[in-house]
Each structure stands twice: as C-alpha cells, then as structure tokens.
Structure 1
Amino acid sequence: MTEWQVREGLTPYQAALDEMDVQAAGIHDGSLEERVLLVEHPPLYTAGTSAKREDLTDPDRFPVYMTGRGGQYTYHGPGQRVVYPAIDLTRHGRDIRAYVARLEGWIIDALRTFGIHGRAIDGRVGVWVDTKSGEAKIAAIGVRVRKWVTLHGFAVNVTPDLSHYGGIVPCGLAEFPVTSLSALGIDADMKVFDAALRAARPF
C-alpha cells in the first residue's frame, strides 16, 4: 500500500522539491516505498517547462520558482491542497498520459463527494467545473517523470484567496477563470477534503 502523509502548516516550496527528489531516488533504487504527500504552501508562483515570460504579469507579488514539471504558471498558497504522488510507473503502467488521466479521475471522484461535477477537457490538462459565469478551473496538474518515478502532482482549490492568481495567467489560459470549493458554495475544510481524496485514491 502506498504511504499516505499529510503535513500540517505551510511547507516551504523548496523543501518540498528537495524531499520529492530524495523520495523519487529512493523509490527507484528500492530503498523507499511509494508515497502520496499532501501539503499546503505559502503564497508563491511556479513555472513549468512551457511557461511564457509574459504570463507572469506581477513578478514581484510572490516568490517565483522555476520547476521541471510540465505546464505553465500556477499558484500555490494556503487553502489549496497540493498533492505530490511519488509513484513507480513500472508498477502501474509506463504511460504518462494514462497517469495524468488517472490523476484527473481521482480529483473528479473526490469532488463528486461534495456534489461538484468536475470534468477533464481535451487539450486542457486539469479539472474543470461549470460556474454561473462559465467554465472555470478548480484543479491544476503538472507532473514530471524521472526513471519512471513521478514527481510533482496536482493542486485543488479548496479555500484559497483566488485574488492571488492575479499575478499570473494561470496555465496560460487567460480566457478561463479559476474557482474553488468555497467559491462554489461548498463549506469544506481541508481535513474533510483530504478524507474525500483518501477515499478516492487510486494508489
């Protein structure tokens, strides 16, 4: 069974990066087991391998971290559940697209617990919902695979300050807003959401 860890408080982003590198190396050499790590970060922006400089519209607002994950700019901060699965794809199928689809399905299943109909959309990685003003993104996914072990993962907006997204073009999609469980009228704290994630876990 994959280890499940929840960190209390705010985890510094660089510390999480360093730890996921150690975990991935240990899984590859057999010294560590697969793990799903759940954290919250202090407010920050991260840039994936496809990030465009012009999409960082307020570079002085929060710290910016360059990462090796796929995707463009995204935000992390309090009230957002960030999930880092360290999974050996040699055990689960060496198919990165299938892995991303599995993450999307995991998020969708967890959201269903709260009566939220999330969905994946071709050409747009992540999970989307309908709001009164149209489609909005509730979860972002950005992964990296090293020696068939996964790094990074996904982030679901539970109760974050959505105004913090104002310093970037999230995932390069200026035409679509972001939303959260709280913005959709769902009163769910992080522990309740974590329980839904754990019940729906595919690993």
Structure 2
Amino acid sequence: MSMPSPKTPELRQASAPVPYAQALTEMEARNRAIADGTAEELVWLLEHPPVYTAGTSAAADELLDPRFEVFEAGRGGRYTYHGPGQRIGYILLNLGERGRDVRCFVHSLEGWVIATLADLGLESWRAEGRVGIWTKDIDGREAKIGAIGVRVRRWVTMHGFSVNLAPDLSHFTGIVPCGIEEFGITSLERLGIGLAPEAFDKALLARLDDFLASLEGKACSLP
C-alpha cells in the first residue's frame, strides 16, 4: 500500500522587510515544530534589511567591510548579502516524507529557481564547482544572480535561496560573495528586467507543484 503524498506547504509572503534575527528565530522554531509533527511545512517568501550572513564554511578574510550587521546563519555555504530588492525563499520541508535525499533537494531547489527565471525571460544555469545560480551579465561574462544555502535538521530543511531582483549591487562589495572572487554579481534590473517582488512570487509559485514533485522517488533526476 502506497503512502499518501505530503500536503502542500503553508505559503507565507511578506510585503515588508523582515529583520534577519527575527526570521532566523521563527525559522528555527518552525523547523522544530515540523520535525515534532506539530506544524505544517512552510514556503516563506520575504526580503531583509541589509545584512551579511555567514555560513558554516565562511572564512574571516572574506568579510571585507562589515558595514552591516553580520549573523552566523547556521546554513551551509560562506558569506552572503541580503537586502532590499532581493527576494528570499525559506523552504521548510520534511524530507522524511519527501525522499530523504538532501542532494536531490538542493538540485531541485536550484532547478525551481532556474525554471522560474526562464519563465521571466532570463536564461540561467548551474556551474560545476560553484554554488548558486548563474547567468550572463551585461558585459557577456558569467555572473551570479541567485544564491543557495540550506541546512537540514532532523530531516527538516531550513534556509533556501535568494534571487537578485533589484538590490544595491554595491552592498555585495563588503564580502567575497560565497567565497568566489573571480565572478561578479548581477540582477534582473541590471539585465533590463524590471520586476516587482509580487510578480516574481507569482512566477515562482506557478512552479511549486513541479518542485515538490521533483523531490519524490525517481522524479529526482540528477546529472
């Protein structure tokens, strides 16, 4: 007898910036509640006031100019900037009911963002040996348009992705973003695509079911 499919997660969309410390506290509490079976899974779309966050692999010399608050995020990865004009997706799913495959989850998360950007008219891709979502900048060189950073505790995911809609790109110069010095950072606005957060959310959520389906069984196709 087959197990019933997990329910669709609760959706939360923030219209005003959420302080990073508040979001982290709420996310950690929700993670515990999902693991305990007392709360639903959650897809939380939001943005933060300007902040630098350090992942578990962050090196001290990659923090070049701490002009904003710096938080230990507890996620994988290195230093990342979050701020206005950047849409963030915190994805809290119970992988215990969705395949128990962390590598599949990260791959599917990347694929969800890449497919959404394609729907919005921008080609993007994964890059071998470099975490994140990449595209061609206005100078023709590869540049990063999205970051990926996750944590899994008791088979429940935390953190997720960020996509640069129209942030102040100079804010990224205070860090070595994700530890990668030789490539730049770009945004949809820089590439000529003006997009409100609500429009990005709509495109992203149109592919939510595809993302969830990709986590299950043989539907998760890794290269």
Q: Which has the larger radius of gyration?
A: 2
Output aligned runs, 1:155-174, within 5 Å. Answer: 155-174=162-181
Distance 2:155 2:88 in 1: 21
Distance 1:167 1:158 in 2: 19
Give identity over the alignment, percent.
52
Ranges in structure 2 where 5+ consecutive residues have no aligned partner: 1-7, 213-223
From 114, 120, 124, the equivalent of 1:108 is 114
What is the CA distance between 1:48 and its match in structure 2? 0.3
The runs of at least 4 consecutive aligned structure 1 residues that moved more than 2 Å come to none
**Alignment RMSD (CA, Å):** 0.8
Output aligned runs, 1:9-88, within 5 Å. Answer: 9-59=16-66, 61-88=67-94
Ranges in structure 1 where 5+ consecutive residues have no aligned partner: none
State the TM-score, normalized to the length of structure 2.
Answer: 0.89
What is the CA distance between 1:133 and its match in structure 2? 3.6
What is the CA distance between 1:2 and its match in structure 2? 1.1
Aligned length: 202
Q: 3-state DSSP class of the match of 2:189?
A: coil
Q: For 2:82, give the aligned amino acid.
A: H
Q: 3-state DSSP class of the match of 2:113?
A: helix
Distance 1:100 1:35 in 2: 16
Distance 2:85 2:184 in 1: 17
Which string of whole-angstrom CA distances, capped at 9 and with x for unpartnered residues, describes residues 147-192 of structure 1? 0000111100001111110100000000010111101100111111
Task: Name the structure where strand makes up a greater proportion of residues.
Answer: 1
Q: After superposing the two structures, state which structure 1 stretch, 91-100 or 40-49, moved more.
A: 91-100
State the TM-score, normalized to the length of structure 1.
Answer: 0.97
